[in-house]
Structure 1
């Protein structure tokens, strides 16, 4: 060793350290915060929809242009052969027996998967959607802007559509991730059918059906955020999904095939049975429903919605340390 050397003896010089990977966006922003942000966006979209379609002249005019006099009451039905089937769909969905059975199914699935709290929250989600829709419908004034075929009776948002959307998303709280993906397309299609039936039967305007979907989605994101905050921000098994990518690809492919089939088969049949404005309203609500439901299901694709893990006792922890 030379005197005056500035290098330490017997120690290896530190080499270049490997670069640490940047944290994933999902790790940076917790799922609970993303759900809260999605809920706020849904409530903002709901507010804007009400402000534009209920309070402004262009909004009321567009509602009247798409569905002339589309409002609950005699003489407001659309001139189409689909009025009878639409009323049948609404009567079936509005049956207390069917609703009780569906809500009971949410609780049963939650209990079988040991997610009873999520099932209870799902039932509360549906009840809350119906109550909020009724309160807003009664409290929101609709000004008379001297538009032909428009009245001052407010029907925004649709309670039927809000209940249907909330019921579909309530099952998303108790079902496993792979089952949620397969339920997206048929569930969203069912919500779109109920929304279309309310417009064809003359119960609601286009904006009412759109507001019902937005309300159900916003309340679901809020409920899911509460469950995530209670149980912790973690996936179904705490690890990244392996085969879930293939299941997701298969579900997305099935959804795409179903949408193409709807465009090729269903839309031409609707075009022959309803007027152009009603067709635009039906296709528009269906597309928005598919996008919103698919987006929130993708957002919670790895969420388990389980309760907090049981706390370990001190004695068991101590015995593990001793062993």
Structure 2
């Protein structure tokens, strides 16, 4: 009995195999972090040039943080000077810094992110060294601005260390826990920055420079971890930009509201204890700290700095041939057509026999 064509009437033969659809890949996280590091570095340089080397910048610094009438220093006439110096003395304790750095390493070990913990500690130490080197090498010219001095304090080492510590914990925490660090982390950085300005240790530009310096170092370190050899983590899928932007805005607004409520509860006499210049400087530094930490969390939202998997375990987790699954699917599609044709022809033959 002749079977004729192997394909049923009305059905066209299958075409060439096509690749399975895949989601549009976003830019690699390492490239995003490098681009962000360049942007923050440019912002750091522009901040230093504007506030340190130009007359308008020195005037703005003096307007926000005027020199005290007695003694000529920048220590503010406020009841908060004592608590501010206490905060700075406590935070500057080598014992406390050692405990915090040890905490970064411990969290890294527990989360299988030891390399990320070591890099985080390196970011903090590099922030200390870089801030000290910039303060020593960057001259502050005397531009005859009323209330300004030629003593350079840009950037703030205390603020740089506080920011670097918060960002170091971002490297060792899992992705789901990072966003919970934005408000308390930014609050800690803001308290240190406010204390330096109230005590007269640093200007507003110094606080801003310390934050930008640490975020720049963090982006470089995170990019190095992401682009290290042997890292075969697939790039994340792109999500709509509008959705990401709206979510970031909503989270930022909620974070600012929560932080403002915390400040109002914990420091109810802040507005009454300071003049408008230092108060504006503190609020501006607080907002910029929240934005900087929030941007850092957003940049590493889909990156997991977990240690490399062993070679045997990696071979078990992934097939040796990446196209094996795709060929299997396309082969099943092709073989399905002859099977369907044989079944159709067999059914028609049986119907002819019984007729």
Report if the CA contact (8 A) 2:256-2:290 is conserved.
Answer: no
SS in 2 for 1:28: coil
> Does 1:271 find its partner at 2:271?
yes
User: Deviation of residue 266 (structure 1)?
Assistant: 6.4
Farther off after superposition, 207-216 or 261-270: 261-270
Distance verdict in 2 for CA 1:58–1:316, change over 3 Å: closer
> Does 1:121 find its partner at 2:115?
no
User: Deviation of residue 252 (structure 1)?
Assistant: 6.7
User: Deviation of residue 216 (structure 1)?
Assistant: 0.7
Distance verdict in 2 for CA 1:233–1:275, change over 3 Å: farther
Q: Quote the Cα distance in structure 1 between the aligned partners of 2:61 and 2:185.
A: 26
Query: How do 1:167-316 and structure 2 match up within 5 A?
Result: 167-230=165-228, 232=231, 234=233, 255=255, 257-262=257-262, 265=265, 269-312=269-312
Report if the CA contact (8 A) 1:182-1:251 is conserved.
Answer: no
Farther off after superposition, 36-45 or 295-304: 295-304
Query: How do 1:51-130 and structure 2 match up within 5 A?
Result: 51-69=49-67, 75-130=73-128
State the match for 1:3 in structure 2. Answer: none
State the match for 1:4 in structure 2. Answer: none
Report if the CA contact (8 A) 2:183-2:290 is conserved.
Answer: yes
User: Deviation of residue 139 (structure 1)?
Assistant: 0.2
State the match for 1:6 in structure 2. Answer: none
Q: Quote the Cα distance in structure 2 between the aligned partners of 1:233 and 1:164.
A: 32
Q: Quote the Cα distance in structure 2 between the aligned partners of 1:36 and 1:305.
A: 16
User: Deviation of residue 92 (structure 1)?
Assistant: 0.5
Unaligned runs of at least 5 residues, structure 2: 1-9, 239-243, 322-355
User: Deviation of residue 315 (structure 1)?
Assistant: 10
SS in 2 for 1:312: helix
Report if the CA contact (8 A) 2:187-2:259 is conserved.
Answer: no
Report if the CA contact (8 A) 1:63-1:205 is conserved.
Answer: yes
Q: Quote the Cα distance in structure 1 between the aligned partners of 2:146 and 2:320.
A: 77
Q: Quote the Cα distance in structure 2 between the aligned partners of 1:284 and 1:320.
A: 54
Report if the CA contact (8 A) 1:227-1:306 is conserved.
Answer: no
Report if the CA contact (8 A) 1:235-1:304 is conserved.
Answer: no
Report if the CA contact (8 A) 1:106-1:171 is conserved.
Answer: yes
SS in 2 for 1:128: helix
Farther off after superposition, 252-261 or 211-220: 252-261
Q: Quote the Cα distance in structure 1 between the aligned partners of 2:313 and 2:104.
A: 33
Report if the CA contact (8 A) 1:50-1:156 is conserved.
Answer: yes
Report if the CA contact (8 A) 1:158-1:204 is conserved.
Answer: yes
Report if the CA contact (8 A) 2:156-2:206 is conserved.
Answer: yes
Q: Quote the Cα distance in structure 1 between the aligned partners of 2:233 and 2:60.
A: 44
Instruction: Find the partner of 2:151 among 153, 175, 190.
Output: 153
TM-score by length of 2: 0.75
Distance verdict in 2 for CA 1:110–1:263, change over 3 Å: closer
User: Deviation of residue 113 (structure 1)?
Assistant: 1.1
Unaligned runs of at least 5 residues, structure 1: 1-8
Cα deviations across residues 199-222 of structure 1 (Å, max 9, x unaligned)? Answer: 000000000000000001110010
Q: Quote the Cα distance in structure 2 between the aligned partners of 1:273 and 1:79.
A: 8
Q: Quote the Cα distance in structure 2 between the aligned partners of 1:234 and 1:315.
A: 14
